[in-house]
Amino acid sequence: MKKIYRKIAQAASACLLCAGIAVSGQPPMQPVHTYADTVADYEQKIKDLDNRINEIDQQIATAGQDIEASKSQQDNYWNLLVATQEKIDTVNLSVAAKEEEIKSKQAEIDNKQLEIDNKALEITETERKIADTEAQIEMLEKQNEENLHRFAQIVRANYINDSGDYLSVISGATDFYDIFVRSKLMDSVTRQNEEFMKQLQSDIHRLEDKKVQLGDDIKALEDQKEGLNYDKMTLQMQKEDLEDEKIDLDERVKYFNDLNSSYWGEYNTYASQIQDLETRQANLQYEKKVTQADREKAQAAMDEEIRRAQERAKNNTVYDTGEWAWPLDRSYHLITTTFGWDAWRNGNHGGIDIGNSGLMGANIYASKGGEVIVAKTTYIPGYDYGMYVVIDHGSGYQTLYAHCSAIYVSVGQTVNKGDCIAAVGATGWATGPHLHFEVRKDSVRIDPLGVVALPQ
Ligand SMILES: [Zn+2]
């Protein structure tokens, strides 16, 4: 297939295009398209599509690399997250342990407070006992005093008549009891009275001893209470230390949690990047599929084009053995550029230009019967043949009609000599309406006037 195309392209490559009658300062043109341009078009299109497929492959590969890079970053952040989470777990354990310590410290403090309260109760109880004892002492002393008075009255009654001296001694004394116990009057007092007095004195002494003992107890209790208060204060200080330590731990937890959040942010950013890239890759894969389908279509069309060219070459169909017809109405026969070397273009002119005035829109006729193999209606203004038709006549002959303003036939269509196939125009590289007419024999341009008679 390549061979055939090359053969056709080679034959056409020497072609320079006509510029009509007037020259309008256009740059010398490269021969871009020949009449085999359908195959060339397909080849170019396939080449473009291949380039695009390569581009897409590269973009897919780049996206793949970006995905790998993002995944690697994501993995880094995942590892950081795992490490941070481990730290958080550890610190949380420390926090829990610290909370336990604080709780048990508080329990110790509460116990200590209970002891202090009990101690205070004991003190209150002891103070109450002291007050009781004092009350008892007071009561006994009162009894004693009363007893003494009563006794003194007895003594006075006994001795009032014997001696006035004794009376004066007794009445002037401050402590009746002392006088009484030391006096000789003791013998005269009843045994019962003496026992009673002694018992009272003993009770008073015992109570006073007890009061002293209770006072000592209070002092001891106060000391103990003070000790307990000190212990409690120590415990409270320890608890405050623990609470400070817990605050530090809480701050560490917060720090690691913040770190974790920022790592999560990064992780998620990469996750969405990966998602975007994967979407992009999928889109590219789809575009590649579509482009490959386009390429297959172009390839199939080109193969078909080549097959048909081969068919024509093989069959060597002769469509028309008669005379060649002039491609325009016979009154239009002003040759503005002849076939062959053209000094103005500094190149070969591949056909003849027919350029009478008033030619615009005039009918163009098939010079001989044959099959339309090119009917090109798209073109770039200012370049090449513009709109043109190529007819294959068999026996290796083909004719070309360029710069048309309209085309009335399509590829594959069979035409008869003299059929109107197009209208004269100035499309492509033409500065005015004219017909560029070529005749080819076995893919080589020959002078059209060698086969078509110029009307007289
Ligand atoms: Zn020309």
What confidence tens digit (pLDDT) does each residue in 121-148 have? 999 999 999 999 999 989 988 888 887 7
Distance 42 CA to ligand 1 centre (A): 25
pLDDT exceeds cutoff 80 at 188? no
| pLDDT for res 129 | 93
| pLDDT for res 435 | 96
Distance 453 CA to ligand 1 centre (A): 18
Distance 447 CA to ligand 1 centre (A): 12
Strand 347-349 to 340-342 pairing? antiparallel
Distance 351 CA to ligand 1 centre (A): 6
pLDDT exceeds cutoff 60 at 13? no
Rounded mean pLDDT, 316-339:
86
Distance 335 CA to ligand 1 centre (A): 10
pLDDT exceeds cutoff 90 at 292? yes
Distance 365 CA to ligand 1 centre (A): 17
Distance CA 238, CA 102 (A): 9
Distance 415 CA to ligand 1 centre (A): 23
Distance 435 CA to ligand 1 centre (A): 7
pLDDT exceeds cutoff 60 at 28? no
Distance 21 CA to ligand 1 centre (A): 10
Kindly list the distances between the CA atom of residue 176 and the CA atoms of 166, 181, 197, 230, in Å, as whole numbers in the listed order.
12, 9, 12, 53
Distance 325 CA to ligand 1 centre (A): 19
Q: Which of 1-10, 304-313, 329-338 has the highest mean pLDDT?
A: 329-338
Distance 357 CA to ligand 1 centre (A): 16
84 contact partners, CB below 8 Å, separation of at least 6: 256, 259, 260, 263
Instruction: Please give the residue that has the higher pLDDT: either 164 or 385.
Output: 385
Distance 150 CA to ligand 1 centre (A): 174
| pLDDT for res 255 | 95
Distance 389 CA to ligand 1 centre (A): 14
Rounded mean pLDDT, 90-110:
95
- Using alpha carbons, select from 362, 309, 276 the residue that is nearest to residue 5: 309
pLDDT exceeds cutoff 70 at 104? yes
Instruction: Please give the residue that has the higher pLDDT: either 277 or 158.
Output: 277
Distance 369 CA to ligand 1 centre (A): 22
pTM of the model: 0.51
Which of 47-56, 143-152, 157-166 bottoms out in mean pLDDT, i.e. has the lowest?
Answer: 157-166
Distance 289 CA to ligand 1 centre (A): 43
Distance 353 CA to ligand 1 centre (A): 5
| pLDDT for res 17 | 44
pLDDT exceeds cutoff 90 at 379? no
Task: For residue 111, name the pLDDT band (cuts at 50, 70, 90).
Answer: very high
| pLDDT for res 95 | 95
The percentage of residues in the chain with a pLDDT greater than 70, rounded to a whole number, is 80
Task: For residue 107, name the pLDDT band (cuts at 50, 70, 90).
Answer: very high
Distance 445 CA to ligand 1 centre (A): 12
In the chain, CATH 2.70.70.10 sits at 2-35+317-450
Task: For residue 73, name the pLDDT band (cuts at 50, 70, 90).
Answer: very high
Rounded mean pLDDT, 386-393:
92
Distance 349 CA to ligand 1 centre (A): 6
Distance CA 321, CA 200 (A): 177
Distance 17 CA to ligand 1 centre (A): 5
Distance 317 CA to ligand 1 centre (A): 28
| pLDDT for res 248 | 95
Q: Going along 181-245, which residue ranges are E strands?
A: none
pLDDT exceeds cutoff 70 at 112? yes
Distance 33 CA to ligand 1 centre (A): 14
Which of 123-127, 139-143, 378-382, 434-438 bottoms out in mean pLDDT, i.e. has the lowest?
Answer: 378-382
pLDDT exceeds cutoff 70 at 259? yes
Provide the residues around ligand 1 (an ion) whose CB is within 5 A.
18, 353, 436
Helix 37-159 × helix 2-12 angle, to 10°? 110
Distance 391 CA to ligand 1 centre (A): 17
Rounded mean pLDDT, 82-89:
94
Distance 135 CA to ligand 1 centre (A): 152
Helix 191-315 × helix 37-159 angle, to 10°? 180
Instruction: Please give the residue that has the higher pLDDT: either 209 or 384.
Output: 209
The percentage of residues in the chain with a pLDDT greater than 90, rounded to a whole number, is 58
Distance 355 CA to ligand 1 centre (A): 10
Distance 44 CA to ligand 1 centre (A): 25
| pLDDT for res 44 | 83
Q: Other CB atoms closer than 10 Å to residue 271's CB: what's the count?
A: 15
What is the CATH T-level fold of the domain 2-35+317-450, as seen in this structure? Glucose Permease (Domain IIA) (2.70.70)
Which of 117-121, 171-175, 432-436 bottoms out in mean pLDDT, i.e. has the lowest?
Answer: 171-175
Distance 322 CA to ligand 1 centre (A): 26
Residue 316 Ramachandran class (φ > 0 left, ψ -120 to 50 alpha, else beta): left
Distance 416 CA to ligand 1 centre (A): 24
Rounded mean pLDDT, 246-266:
95
| pLDDT for res 244 | 96
Task: For residue 445, name the pLDDT band (cuts at 50, 70, 90).
Answer: confident
Task: For residue 72, name the pLDDT band (cuts at 50, 70, 90).
Answer: very high
| pLDDT for res 184 | 53
Q: Going along 387-452, which residue ranges are E strands?
A: 387-394, 397-404, 406-407, 414-415, 420-423, 435-441, 444-446
User: Torsion angle, CA of 74/76/82/87, rounded to 10 degrees?
Assistant: -130
Task: For residue 3, name the pLDDT band (cuts at 50, 70, 90).
Answer: very low
